Structure formats: structure tokens, C-alpha cells
Amino acid sequence: MEVLAVGLMAVVANAAVVGGDAGAGAGAAMPGMPVAVSGTAGAGSAIYPTPVPPPAGEPGFVQFNNLVVQSVSSGNVPSEIVATNNYPVPMGVLNSSGGAAPASATSPVQCYKFESQAGTAGTAIQCPVPPSANQKMPAMMASGSTDMPATSATQPTYIPVNPSYRIEVNAATRLSLRDRTVATLADFTQGDQVNVFGYYNADGSIQAYLVRDISKPVQTETMQLNNVKIVSISGTAIPATIAVAQEQSAPCYGYDTGSGKPIMCPLGLPSFSNNTATQNVTPPQAMAPNWVMLRKYAVTVDAQTVLLDKNRTALTLSNLKVGDTLNVYGETSDNGQTLNADIVRDLSIPPSASNYSGKITQVNADGSFVIQTDDGQTITVQGAIQTGAAVTVRGVLDSSSNTLTEVAGIYFGSSLTTPPIYLPTPAAQPMIRSK
């Protein structure tokens, strides 16, 4: 995503003070904000006032990137734009007893602080969280959210809060579109992404000096999202929508210059509830532990979409299933929230065997059993315990009864290609290693 260019122009008579453009990376040099001027403005002039320096303890001058517009109070100035942070902030966790505890996780950096309105370089910071966000916590803790799946009693549940900011727009506020052409309040609509620079107050309001709508004019970008996992598929008939989620560490590539180059992954949907095609999606239990921090996208598959497996063999939509890992190549015209897929490659097909470590939580009559893996997944293991299966075990043998007790390790497979991982104490719960 682009970093906001905060250059403004003060025109008095025939004189102009112009700031340059900021670079696209974090910590890029930022141009100076408007300066105070004296004299009489000529026709068509725009004078942007110098704000009062922030008092001690106030956050001061902050640049907010990629806020999502929720409402605009009026089409004329003065007006107030309410916008939310597109990254849910984990405000707290529910522990096993249901009580709240401080969250250690933080949202990705997307704000910059300046010492003054004329500062030339910003410092990357975590976005300030307004008091209104704290007021949302009890209701969310009580009611839950379709975008926050329940977890087991031993897994903490993060309480996601999308902080809302009140952006105060007056006659001195510069409004622009993505291409930096002049905008009006009528251009700002619900769902637009905006970059904002201004004086931030501790009550959650922003005295805006520049608001830039980066959703308009609409432009189409070609990109590839790697290692996204399927959360849901709308159906087996084409066209269909695939809801996917991506880890923060997964890469993305841009193809607007022809060849692919690494890019910052788009923020995606604030939540699946923000998209008509995905608003009833229920996240899989396996994704619950870090659901808040996953990027979420809606992928459209139509008759022109090419579906492939990891060996690049053709697939049909019915071959795909929830939990599969995909690479998706396609076009977006809404800053990456939705993609019209040209190619979808399922890296989970054909399947390959993997090792899973965990503790047995249940043994079934048919010989299957359930394990809780080290990363929190609950997996049912089919057909492992059956007549003729090769097994290696570690335990204490009672020779009088030929009974093996204090079992510390079990390994299924025809040969020991790798040593089984034994538990630290004989009395510990048996650990299963699959070949």
C-alpha cells in the first residue's frame, strides 16, 4: 500500500509553497505540511493554518494509513468522517476462566508520528487507540462475533476491536483522490480507504489537514497472493466465491510492470462480514488461535479461471476444499479486498504425508483416535490401530503378564526411518508419531 504523500500547497497572491512526495516504504521522508503565512490571499488562494503545537501527553501530529470510511456527516464543510482502522486490534484476551487479560499481540504498524506539522520525517508507531474502542470490549466479550470463532477453554480468545476515528474536516482541509487531483466531500463514501494526516486528539478525533481517498479513481491491479488457506467456498457451480485467509508472513507479488516483483500484501477485507458474498462465513476452528491477525480476501472464480494442482494438472472447483493452501493470481479494483482470479493453484493437491505431534485425547471403538496437536489443532487419526499394522513402542514390560505399562512413545510405520520422539517422563501422556 502507498504511504500518504502529505504535501500541501499554500498560495498567496502568486507565491506557492509546495511539498514533495513521500516514498512508498515505512519511514520514508515526508514533505512539510502547510506553513503559516501573512498577507491578503488572492482569488483562488488556499491558506492552510498552522495548528497549535500539541500539549504534553497528547499524541500530536499523526499520519493514519488505510482507514476505512464508515460515514460522512455532511456533503458540506464543516463535516465529520468516521473511519475505522482496517486492522482489528486485539484489545484483550479471555482466559480459561472467562476473565479478561491484556493482549500481548499488536496490530501491524501503519501510522507515523511527526514532531510538528512541518516535520520532514515520520516515526513509525502503533496507531493510537481511541477511548471508544475500549467501550466496545464488554459488548463484544458478551456477544462474540462471527469473525471471532470460539476456542477451547485452554486457548485464549482475542477480542478484536476496529478503532473508530472522527476526522474533522473544515474549509482548510485538503481533500484529494488517489491520483492527487482535488476531491470534494461527495467523493468520500462508505467503504473507501483513506489516508489522513492531522493533529490527533486523545478523544479519538483528528483535526485533518489532508484526507486522500486512495480508492478513487478506481484502478485495476494485477497481483498474486501466495499461501492463502480456504476458509469457505460458496458452492460447486461457477461462478463461485472462495473466502481465503493469509498469514502475515506470506508473500505477495505485483505484476503491473509485466514481471512479478514482491509487494506489500493488500490489507484485504476488514472482516468477511464486510463483503456480501462472504458475510455468513464461519471460520474453521483450526484458524482460531491467530484469526484476528490473518489477512482476509474474497476470490471470485468464473468460467475463465484456470484451476491447477501443485503439479499444474487441471482441476475442477469440486476438487477444492476448506483448509487447502492456494496461490491466487488475478486482478483487483478495490485495493485487494476482492480478486477476480485468472489462476488458482491448489498446493494441497495431490496430498502429501506430514508428521503431526500431539497428545491423544480420545480413542474410538473403530481403532481411530483423536489428538490435540502442539499447534492447537484437533485431528482424528483414521485406521492407525488395526490388525497387521507395524508399530514400535517404548514402555516398561511386566514379564509375568507380558503387559507393557508406562508407555512413553508409539510409532506407527513399516520401518523406523526417523527415531520416535519420546516423552520426558514415563508417566506422561503417550505421544503418537505418524510416518
Task: Kindly report the CATH class assigned to 221-346.
Answer: mainly beta
pLDDT at 174: 94
pLDDT at 7: 32
Q: From CA 254, how far away is CA 225, in angstroms rounded?
A: 9
Query: In the chain, where are the structural domains located?
Result: 56-213, 221-346, 358-433
pLDDT at 161: 62
pLDDT at 61: 87
276 phi and psi angles, rounded to 5 deg: -55, -40
Cβ–Cβ under 8 Å, residues 92 and 102: yes
Q: Nearest-CA neighbor of 61 among 115, 124, 123?
A: 115
pLDDT at 224: 96
pLDDT at 308: 97
Tell me how many degrees the CA angle 342-347-352 measures, rounded to the nearest 5.
160
Q: pLDDT averaged over consecutive 10-residue blocks of the chain (435 residues)?
A: 34 26 31 32 35 54 89 93 74 40 43 78 80 52 44 46 86 93 94 90 88 90 96 93 94 85 87 87 81 91 96 96 96 91 96 84 85 83 74 85 82 54 41 39
Q: From CA 266, how far away is CA 272, in angstroms rounded?
A: 15
Q: From CA 83, how far away is CA 85, in angstroms rounded?
A: 7
pLDDT at 160: 53
Q: From CA 137, how far away is CA 133, in angstroms rounded?
A: 7
